[in-house]
Structure 1
Amino acid sequence: MISTVIRRCFPAAAQVVADRAEDINKLNVFPVPDGDTGTNMSLTLGTVVREVQALPEGASIEDIARAITHGSLMGARGNSGVITSQILRGIAEGLCDAKGQEDPTPADIAHAWRRGVKVAFKAVRKPVEGTILTVLKDVSARADQLEKTKITTREMLDALVVEAYESVARTPDLLPVLKENGVVDSGAFGFATFLEAFVNAALGKSDGLTDFKTTVDAKADVTSKVAIELNDDWEGSQYRYCNEFLFHAEKPFDADEALSYLATLGDCELVVGSYPDFKVHVHSNEPNLVLAYMLQYGQIFEVFIHNMDMESQDRTAKIAADQAGAPSTQAKKPLGFVAVAAGSGEADILRSLGVDVVVSGGQTMNPSTADILAAIDEVNAESVIVLPDNGNIRMAAEAAASACDSARVAVVPTKTVPQGFSAMFATDLDASLEDNVEAMTEAIAEVRGGEVTRAVRDSAAADGTPIHAGDVMGIQDGSIELVGDSLDGVTLELIARMQADEEGDSLTILAGQDLDDAAFSALVDAIEAAQPDLEVDPHRGEQPLYPVIFSIE
């Protein structure tokens, strides 16, 4: 079924883009050489993965399409991320038209690509040849050609990957700034990378490259046109700031009129979505005017304002260091963050909140002082805040802070990953190290943590209750408070006790790698039924050994 294929393949493809994000960043010279295309595409795809994985087993293609549309809109970052969100939305909508939700036919695939072209080109006021939109259009045209033949779905998918890379290889001939810099378009390359990885997963290919010689040749053609050169020219835009945020309209709102106004303040303007929720993106020298204009019509949130000039300098420094075969000498950022997490989902959330480096570790695999010290150095910041996210790791973090001579380092004593989330929400990049430590420490004081796991040996709870191997334990702030035989029962009772002790407003809950989506969804439903006044925020944490970790604030 199409829905099953998407749920299985999208995360794998998103991970490939994440793994290659830095390579994609280095190609980034258009519309400005700020070196963030790979990062932005990866963050956008990561949000989609979380929304799709949160759906119950057996979700329909319509449910998945809505998750893709909402997730990519909410998570879209940068010009490339916003355009990618519209491509994904269009293709997902097109696949909803496939009859019977069985494996898609070549006609279904061609129809989905046509829908992707229609939605994406509608979103961009001034499409530029030689970009991700060109690759989208070329792949769709190729799909239209193949639809008229007797080609199989498998053969068609492989052929579309070839077309994508061939189109990427042509981008320098269509966009002069690419040829001047000796690169292909970064967004186009990122898109082709995602498509190839998705097709590999869909067709069950275990290696990183497709096994058809034509695809290898197409990729080789791309590689032959990538000899990244240093270029400090600021030609893509006369504007310094990339402004992007989510917008919720509270009164009649004309997106076309907003686009026309934003065009007077800058370029690369995008307003995508549907009433009342939109994503806004524009390059401008006056972020205050952009925000003031949109505030007339509703609320703005998740505001990101990037200085593209500084990002461009960082990109140039990285490339120079790579070419010299030496460590990067890019300017240090004022403040950076290191956190420890055991699960891939936990790590993704921490990165989305601004953590620069996530060290793998947790209750049973504590990272060493050397591991944390290496992460601090990797951040390349004047000041670094470390979040151990586990009481057993605090001493190693403090030892690393004391041993570091390349930066000022402080440790905020988080005991759980959810405390790390709350700490990151309290950060202010314009404030001093000391002020941030104070604010973050105050924030985690308001967070009470709970964990649910199974006992591996006989023991006793805090009240003396005997614990036998295999029992389910409810742990509050490090103390075993509850023992039972049901994961759901212990979780619900632990939350009830914590609410009785001190009523909280919100609960963040993370599913471990051993708790499947269906069971997690049922548990969340039970919590919401039992605690109707508690706002529940569920996520896949993918942490080992602990099927449930939660915090109450």
Structure 2
Amino acid sequence: MISSVIRTCFPAAAKVVADKAEDINKLNVFPVPDGDTGTNMSLTLGTVVKEVQALSADASMEDIAKAITHGSLMGARGNSGVITSQILRGIAEGLCDAKNQEEPTPADVAHAFRRGVKVAFKAVRKPVEGTILTVLRDVSNRADKLEKSKMSTMEMLDALVVEAYESVARTPDLLPVLKENGVVDSGAYGFATFLEAFVNAAAGKAGELTDFDPTVATDDAKAGVSSKVQIELNDDWEGSEYRYCNEFLFHAEKPFDPDEALTFLATLGDCELVVGSYPDYKVHVHSNEPNRVLEYMLGYGQIFEVFIHNMDLEAADRTAKIAADKAAEKAPKKPLGFVAVAAGSGEESILKSLGVDVVVSGGQTMNPSTADILAAIEEANAESVIVMPNNGNIRMASEAAATACESAQVAVVPTKTVLQSFSAMFAVDAEASLEENAEAMTEAIADVRGGEVTRAVRDSSASDGTPIHDGDVMGIQDGSIDVVGSDVADVTIELINKMQEDEEGDSLTILAGSDMDDESFEALIARIEEAQPDLEIDSHRGEQPLYPVIFSIE
């Protein structure tokens, strides 16, 4: 049934767009940078997925069409998201008209795309050629020509994917700014990506893009697009006449004319859209006066889920990201790179000063995923990479990332704290092999004893049975709660003294967390110097959350 195909294929296609969102974002060089096209399309599709998946298993195509219409309208972000919502609405409504809901014919597909064109073009007052709307219309026209052919429905869909990519490849010829920057339209590319992923899922090839085939024409069409999908640094954009992208949901409470609203919004800016049906609408407009936009709409009803984006700042941010990516692409791989996990800005600064290439944000309560660590390994841009998880809970994810990495040889040094990674980095020999360095770094952390001071979040007991109450300050040595008190400084001193009694060390490295101010930290250091005059102290601000103090003794 059509409904079951959509329930299966839509989430798969939405995931592909989400995975490629950043690539789509980088193509966004339209004269008015309107957020991030890939992100906006992905968020729109993601909301639809949630609404469709919430339906009962026997939901009809009409039910699914309503979920698609409502979900895409409620989740639409940015110009691209709003237009995408209308394309989805139109196609879904068209599929409801299919005479055979068990297996749509090429004529049903052609009808659905015609409906998509009608709804989407109606929503946009001034359609621009060379955008997602152009590709939609081209695909629909191609469907009209094929509906009476002897093709099967799947063969027709394959041909429409080819047409989509060929249309995307033509967008620079229709929109000068695209040709100037050597790219295709981002929204158009996102739409073609979604269409291909949906068709692939319907053919049992969910998630595939590069192996799409079955025809040489498809490969040629995609190759034509690939040659134009080049990210060029566009840093000469002088800004639009309008700075703010305003978008929000609107619920009318009195007679409301969308055309009249559009006419007024056009006096405040451009790219105005009012889509939906009484009483619920999605409103989008670029304007320098967000207050007047909101005041006008409030005169007719309620507004909610308001998003106001500063497009000047978004353009600058995107330019910086593209420049960084281009620099990374040009840089040759270094022989040995390092990745470490850290929770605070101070910790990150210290790690980078010691030679760590990429610092992954994470630690207690916010463990990074295998994918996060794998991405950091790739970013290190090295032939061999050493990963320091700096937390026992992150070690397995680090090892999984090391196993999954295909672009570099990876070793994991099992650091349990960021302070151990400091010592490990001092053991690095730039002339040694990956294995030799990993072994030397592992040996270097063996004698590093760690201490942490934090507050209890529930009642418990210390290693010696001492009761711990919610809010008590705890001194933890290598995972064992050895000191309990009410004052951070007192507990820190007691824990250091205890560790020195157990095994005397020569040096102490100590980091202040975000919850400890400079004055308190300086006072604590003075007390440590008085209590342990023979201990060499190296103090820094780590800015780690939850732990006012962490330290190591060697």
Say yes or no: TM over 0.5.
yes
Tell me what 2:264 maps to: 261
* 1:211 aligns with one of 207, 210, 213: 213
CA contact (8 A) 2:239 2:312 kept: no
Query: Which 4+ residue blocks in structure 1 deviate beyond 4 angstroms?
Result: 357-362, 368-378, 399-405
Report the equivalent of 2:8: 8
Counterpart residue identity of residue 133, structure 2: L
Mapped to 1, the partners of 2:145 and 2:276 lie a distance apart of 31
Aligned residues: 360
Q: Amino acid of the residue matched to residue 211 of structure 1?
A: D
Partner of 1:367: 367
- Tell me the residue number matched to 1:61: 61
CA distance in 2 between counterparts of 1:253 and 1:403 reads 65
* 1:77 and 2:80 correspond: no
Other-structure match for 2:275? 272
Cα gap change, 1:368/1:237 in structure 2, threshold over 3 Å: closer, same or farther?
Answer: closer
Cα 1:401–1:274 change in 2 (3 A) is farther
Give yes or no for contact 1:104–1:153 (8 Å, CA) kept in 2.
Answer: yes
- Does 2:233 correspond to 1:230? yes
Partner SS, residue 99 of structure 1: coil
Q: Distance in 2 between matches of 1:360 and 1:86?
A: 42
Q: Which amino acid aligns with 1:27?
A: L
Query: Residue 403 and residue 179 in structure 1: after superposition, are their counterparts in 2 closer, same or farther (change >3 A)?
Result: farther
| Range 318-327 or range 256-265, more displaced | 318-327
Q: Is 1:102 aligned to residue 102 of structure 2? A: yes
Name 1:146's counterpart in structure 2: 146
Report if the CA contact (8 A) 2:178-2:184 is conserved. Answer: yes
* Residue 325 (structure 1) shift: 1.1
Instruction: Compare relative contact order (CA 8 Å, sep 6+) and give the higher one, 1 or 2.
Output: 1
TM-score, normalisation: structure 1? 0.60
- Structure 2: which 5+ runs fail to align? 332-342, 344-359, 379-392, 395-415, 423-456, 458-554
| 1:304/1:56 CA distance change after superposition, 3 Å | same
Does the 8 Å contact 2:25/2:37 carry over to 1? yes
Supply the distance in 2 between the matched residues of 1:318 and 1:156 (Cα, whole angstroms): 39
> 1-side partners of 2:189 and 2:155: how far apart?
22
Residue 372 of structure 1 deviates from its aligned partner by 9.1
Q: Distance in 2 between matches of 1:261 and 1:374?
A: 50
Residue by residue, what CA displacement relative to the aligned partner does 1:211-242 show, whole Å, maximum 9, x if unpaired? 22221211110011123222223368311111
Q: Equivalent residue of 1:40, what SS?
A: helix
CA distance in 2, matches of 1:371, 1:3: 33
In structure 2, give the amino acid aligned to 1:208: L
Q: Which residue of 2 aligns with 1:301?
A: 304
Shift of 1:150: 1.4
Deviation string for 1:421-447 (max 9, x for gaps)?
Answer: xxxxxxxxxxxxxxxxxxxxxxx9xxx
> What is the TM-score when the length of structure 2 is the normalising length?
0.60
CA contact (8 A) 1:41 1:190 kept: yes
Q: Which residue of 1 aligns with 2:314?
A: 311
Distance 2:377 2:169 in 1: 37
Whether 1:324 and 2:350 are equivalent positions in the alignment is no
Q: Secondary structure of 2:100's match?
A: helix
Alpha-carbon spacing, 1:204–1:288, altered in 2? closer, same or farther (3 Å): same
Residue 166 of structure 2 corresponds to residue 163 of structure 1: no
Shift of 1:245: 0.3
The one-character-per-residue Cα deviations of 1:457-481 (angstroms, maximum 9, x if unpaired) are xxxxxxxxxxxxxxxxxxxxxxxxx
* Aligned counterparts of 2:203 and 2:5: Cα–Cα separation in 1: 10
CA contact (8 A) 1:29 1:236 kept: no
Structure with max Cα Rg: 2
1:28-61 deviations in whole A, cap 9, x for unaligned? 0115235600000000000000000000001100
Q: Which residue of 2 aligns with 1:45?
A: 45
Q: Once structures 1 and 2 are overlaid, which stretch shifts more, 27-36 or 182-191? A: 27-36
Q: Deviations over 1:142-176 (max 9, x none)?
A: 00000121111111000000000000000000000
How far off is 1:403 after superposition?
Answer: 10
Q: Which runs of 5+ in 1 are unaligned?
A: 329-337, 339-356, 379-391, 394-398, 406-443, 445-553
Could you tell me how far apart the structure 2 residues matched to 1:161 and 1:367 are? 40
Please give the per-residue CA displacement for 1:165-218, whole angstroms capped at 9, x wherever unaligned.
000000000000000111000000000000000000011125333122221211
RMSD: 3.3
Q: Sort the Cα spacing of 1:255 and 1:367 in 2 relative to 1 into closer, same or farther, 3 A.
A: same
SS of the aligned residue for 1:126 comes to coil
For residues 55 and 69 of structure 1, the distance between their equivalents in structure 2, rounded to whole angstroms, comes to 14
2:253 maps to 1:250? yes
Secondary structure in 2 aligned to 1:305? strand
Match of 2:288 among 282, 285, 289: 285
Greater mean deviation of Cα atoms: 276-285 or 234-243: 234-243
